[in-house]
Amino acid sequence: MTRTRRGWLAAGSAGVAVVLLQPWAARAEISPALQAAIDHFTSGAPVQTGRVTLAVDAVVENGNTVPVSVSVQSPMTAEQHVRSIAIFTELNPQPEVAVFHLGPASGRAQVSTRMRMAKSQNVIAMAKMNDGSVWQHRVAVSVALAACLEGE
Amino acid sequence: MKMAALRTLLRVPASARPGEVMEVRLLMQHPMETGFRPDAGGRTVPRNILRRIEARFEGELVFAADLFPAITANPYIAFPLRATRSGTLTVTIEGDNGLAERETAVITVA
């Protein structure tokens, strides 16, 4: 197969575009600190995907204040409820953001707060049920202006 | 120098029907200094954060939160609470440098 110079240029720029658009979030960055924080939260239970919804913008302008909300599908009865909800980040200096403790008195499994993000990265919300099972939702968030966590 | 008391806003709905799930909102005026940031001289500014929040309704623990440096300055937390009867919601806040504060709100269920 022969290509014209224009053809090669087009193919080349397509290749560059593919590399540039490669979502950074496709790589899971599980640092030892994050793994330790997750293990501490799960008490060794396997982490399943589902039941948790992490509501956060995919693109945020200001990493100093990122509104986040986590809700979990649960009837929140004495027999069946969410015990805790944790928020982790993959690339902040410290992986934990917050751990919330709920129960049947909550009536609904939903918490909101505002967090800092040092760079574009995945944010992970995990919920631990009263039966010990752990569920998660992972969201890639792009940050335009990073939080000055490390004095950048 | 005595540290100024933590300014805290604890908001609950004016009234709720029995069984209704309310949203309790808590806003605290605090720098949440991360402990990762250097000052102008290059020295790390010591960590100064709020670490633990507990909410009790008539003495029963109904919500708690462990906070880390990634929570923003002037932390905002909203959490649910099912209205059962009228009573007092007491929120205690613990932080670095011996910070310990308490805030209450009256919940009216009718």
Percentage of residues in chain A having pLDDT higher than 70: 78
**pTM, two decimal places:** 0.86
Query: In this structure, what token pair is assigned to residue A125?
Result: 């919300």
Asked whether the beta carbons of residue B69 and residue A115 sit closer than 8 angstroms, the reply is no
Q: Which of A12-26, B71-85, B90-104 has the lowest mean pLDDT?
A: A12-26
Does residue A84 belong to any structural domain of this protein?
A: yes
CATH number at residue A126: 2.60.40.2470
> If you average pLDDT over residues B60-76, what whole number do you get?
97
pLDDT digits (tens, 9 = 90+) for A68-116: 999 999 999 999 999 999 999 999 999 999 999 999 999 999 999 999 9
Burial A4-16 (b: 16+ CB within 10 A, else e): eeeeeeeeeeeee
Q: Which amino acid is at A136?
A: Q
Using DSSP bridges, classify how beta strands B76-82 and B60-67 pair: parallel, antiparallel or unpaired: unpaired
Residue A118 lies in a domain: yes
Q: Which residue has the tokens 């909102």?
A: B25
The tally of domains found in chain A comes to 1
* pLDDT score of A30: 85
Structure-block tokens of residue A144: 């335009």
Question: How much is the pLDDT for B2?
Answer: 43
Residue A21 lies inside a defined structural domain of this protein: no
Chain B hits for A99, Cβ within 8 Å: 65-66
> Domain containing A77: what range?
27-145
Let me know if residue A108 belongs to a domain.
yes
**A98/B72 CB distance under 8 A:** no
Query: Which has more confidence, A121 or B3?
Result: A121
- Confidence band, pLDDT 50/70/90 cuts, at residue A8: low
Taking CB atoms and an 8 Å cutoff, what residues of chain A touch B67? Answer: 98
- Of A36-45, A122-131, B33-42, the poorest mean pLDDT is in B33-42
Please indicate, yes or no, if residue A121 is contained in any of the structural domains.
yes
Residue A51 inside a domain? The answer is yes
Q: What is the mean pLDDT of chain A?
A: 86
Q: Does B66 touch chain A (CB under 8 A)?
A: yes
**pLDDT for the residue B6:** 83
pLDDT higher than 60, residue B110: yes
Q: Of the candidates B37, B68, B80, which has its C-beta nearest A106's C-beta?
A: B80
- Structural domains in chain B plus CATH codes: 7-37+44-107 (2.60.40.10)
